[in-house]
Amino acid sequence: MSTAESAEIFDRGYRAYDGPRTGVQSSMRAVFVATVQRALGLRRKFRYKIVPLATILIAYVPALVFLGITALLPSEIAGQVVAEYAGYFELITVMMLLLTAFVVPEVMGSDRKTGLFGLYMASPLSRWSYLGAKFVGVMAVLSLVTTMPSVFQMAGYSLLGIGPDGFVEILKTLFKIVVSGLILSIFFALFGMAASTLTNRHLFASAGIVMTTIATTGFTEAIIENTDSPAWVELFSVFQVPLELIVRVWGSSDEFPGITGVSTIASFGAWAGACVLFAGIILFGYRRMEVTK
């Protein structure tokens, strides 16, 4: 039975705070969590969840189909139908592009449009720690499309007895999947963030991301087909740059030969150069951004 001596007042109302405060890393973690939540439409109305969740689920459909085919059809036929790991990354790149175009402008532009960026800058965060938290948040969301479907695919193949042989092979395959996922995620996260730095308008940024990808891909393909241009011209395609590096990770095959005549160093250089360019746009844009109004 409770007594008067044991009674406590829990609701004391607003009062001064002298308790513990965590550091900048916790501030970054809070921004990271908010970024993931906003990107996926969590704690928001249902309509905000439709596009990100549908895009992510669709990215897993090929893996499910391949696993079904492998389980149901004879291995000779299944082997001709299902995609290799490198090919899977090519299959999901469209989903990747859609997710980038939808999610990144939402999590970057809305902070500036709603004044939240100013509130962040008045906190322990700096522009760079803020951008770091945003980048990791965007990467985490994009990884749901770039990395997890292939992990799911590998797990399924292993259960069906056609996965990597032995623990070491599993680790090797997993490592390649993670590296490939990072290549795609880093590239598209920076690409999306750079586009979102240039405008506060969600629609403009999304359109810019899609149009730049389509335009560079179409333009480079047209040049290659209609002129005697060297093969490295393809490295100017936003689509091709990360995929080409992923082919190098898995090794070229008949199905995915990669661009002949372009070295791995050149492929990496194109990817890294594009990433540096995108990062430069982001850093330059945010360095000049006004925050106290």
Partner 1 sequence: MDLVNTTTAEAPSPPSPSSVISAVAVSKSWGTNQVFSDVTAEVPPGITGLLGSNGSGKTTLLGMLLALHEPDSGQLRVLGQDPADAGPELRMHIGYAPEHHNLPDDVLAQDLVRHIAMVHGLPRREATTRSSDALWLVGLGEERARPIGTMSTGQRQRVKLAQAIAHGPKLALLDEPTDGLDPVQRDDMLALIRRIGTEFDIHVVLSSHLLEEVERIADNVVILANGKVRAAGPIDQLYQGQGGMTVVLDDGVTDVANTLQRAGYVAEVDRNTIRIGTDEPLEQLANAIRDAVVEHGAPLRRLDASRQSLEDLFLDEVYGS
Q: Is 290 helix (H, G, I), strand (E, B) or coil?
A: coil
Candidates 50, 65, 77, 114: give the one binding partner 1 (CB under 8 A): 114
Q: If binding is defined by CB under 8 A, does position 49 make contact with partner 1? A: no
Distance (Å, whole) CA 171 – CA 160: 18
The rounded distance, in Å, linking the Cα atoms of 193 and 216 is: 18
Q: How far is the CB of 2 from partner 1 (least distance, A)?
A: 22
Among 2, 80, 227, 292, binds partner 1 (CB under 8 A): 292
115: left (phi over 0), alpha (psi -120 to 50) or beta: left
Q: Is the CA virtual torsion 110, 54, 36, 272 positive or negative?
A: negative
Options 3, 6, 7, 19; binder of partner 1; rule CB under 8 A: 19
Determine the interface stretch with partner 1 among 116-124, 166-174, 232-240, 254-262 (rule: CB under 8 A): 116-124
- Asked whether position 216 contacts partner 1 by CB under 8 A, the answer is no
Q: Is 288 a binder of partner 1 (CB under 8 A)?
A: no
Binding-site member from 81, 119, 171, 211 for partner 1 (CB under 8 A): 119
Q: How far is the CB of 98 from partner 1 (least distance, A)?
A: 21
Q: How far is the CB of 237 from partner 1 (least distance, A)?
A: 36
By CB under 8 A, what part of segment 122-181 binds partner 1? 122-126, 129
Residue 256 exposure: Cα atoms within 13 Å on the Cβ side: 20
User: Can you tell me which of 9, 16, 72, 168 binds partner 1, judged by CB under 8 A?
Assistant: 16
The nearest distance, CB 102 to partner 1, in angstroms, is: 16
Task: Output the CA angle 2-4-8, nearest 5 degrees.
Answer: 85
Amino acid at 94: V
Q: How many whole angstroms separate alpha carbon 59 and alpha carbon 57?
A: 5
Query: Does residue number 15 form part of the binding site for partner 1 (CB under 8 A)?
Result: yes
CB–CB of 35/134 below 8 Å? yes
Instruction: Work out whether 14 is an interface residue with partner 1 (CB under 8 A).
Output: yes
Q: Are 184 and 246 in contact (CB under 8 A)?
A: yes
Site residues (CB under 8 A) for partner 1? Answer: 12-24, 26-27, 30-31, 34, 43-45, 48, 110, 113-116, 118-126, 129, 291-293
